[in-house]
């Protein structure tokens, strides 16, 4: 149960971080966030997914060493 709560909190924080970056880019006039998301290719989404899974694995290893 503890790992689910930590994962949910981490996912929420990651979502907030992505939204914050997208909002700053939109406010700075660097382009529309919707256009930036639409310009991503399926390969970009795949690479982002692999990066997130790698981060989760590294965090799991760090927390596993402390137990």
pLDDT tens per residue, range 19-65: 777 676 655 555 565 666 667 788 888 888 888 888 888 877 887 76
pTM over 0.75: no
C-alpha 5/C-alpha 8 separation (Å) is: 5
- The per-residue pLDDT of the chain, averaged, comes to 75
| Nearest-angstrom CA–CA distance, 42 and 56 | 21
Burial 36-56 (b: 16+ CB within 10 A, else e): eeeeeeeeeeeeeeeeeeeee
How high is the pLDDT of residue 64?
73
User: How many Å apart are CA 62 and CA 60, to the nearest integer?
Assistant: 5
End-to-end Cα, the chain, rounded Å:
15
């Amino acid at each position: 149960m503890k790992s689910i709560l930590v994962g949910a909190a981490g996912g929420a924080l990651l979502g907030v971080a992505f939204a914050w970056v997208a909002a700053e880019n939109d406010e700075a006039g660097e382009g529309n966030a919707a256009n930036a998301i639409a310009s991503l290719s399926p390969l970009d989404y795949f690479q982002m997914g692999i990066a997130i899974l790698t981060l989760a694995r590294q965090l799991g290893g760090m927390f596993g060493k402390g137990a």
